[in-house]
Amino acid sequence: MKIKNVVVIGSGTMGSGIAAHLCNADIPVTLLDLKTEISEKARERIHKSRPPLLIDRSKINNIKVGNITDDFSVVEKADWVVEAVVEKIDIKHQIYEKIFKSRKEGAIVSSNTSSIPIKVLSQNLNKEQKKRFLYYPFF
């Protein structure tokens, strides 16, 4: 499967780092947060980062920003949706419910959790949804 379009939800330390790597690979990415101001600031941080997160500053054009209320429809076109919001299970569950209502068939959904077991993260997903749900535990 070729990943042509990614949405990263949560534009803090991890979400912005993930977005920067995608930019470097020339994969268009949309960073969503609670408010567009937050994801805009994350975009600026990536652009100005020292040491640089971007291999070339012009790569920043691969990042679009928005908020989860007005811009969630970007999820409908994403091949991969990365959840990188705060480590709170109720917030992550709310996000997954929204993502799985909107994502296109076959799109991958992943979590950047540092400590929540996949069984707990995916407890509200059905069998088919679980097949497209990935996570990257750091332990």
Ligand X SMILES: NC(=O)c1ccc[n+]([C@@H]2O[C@H](COP(=O)([O-])OP(=O)(O)OC[C@H]3O[C@@H](n4cnc5c(N)ncnc54)[C@H](O)[C@@H]3O)[C@@H](O)[C@H]2O)c1
> Interface with ligand X by CB under 6 A: which residues?
9-15, 33-34, 38, 68, 84-87, 91, 95, 112-114, 138
At its nearest, how many Å lie between ligand X and the CB of residue 107?
A: 18
At its nearest, how many Å lie between ligand X and the CB of residue 47?
A: 17
Give the chain's largest Cα–Cα span: 43
Instruction: Output the CA–CA distances (angstroms, integers) from residue 117 to 12, 58, 112, 137, in the order listed.
Output: 21, 38, 11, 8
Q: What is d(CA 119, CA 139) in angstroms, rounded to the nearest whole number?
A: 15
CB closest to ligand X, residue no: 12
At its nearest, how many Å lie between ligand X and the CB of residue 2?
A: 26
Q: What is d(CA 64, CA 66) in angstroms, rounded to the nearest whole number?
A: 7
Closer to ligand X by Cβ: residue 114 or 124: 114
Please tell me whether the peptide bond between 51 and the residue prior to it is cis, using omega within 30 degrees of 0: yes
At its nearest, how many Å lie between ligand X and the CB of residue 117?
A: 13
Closer to ligand X by Cβ: residue 39 or 62: 39
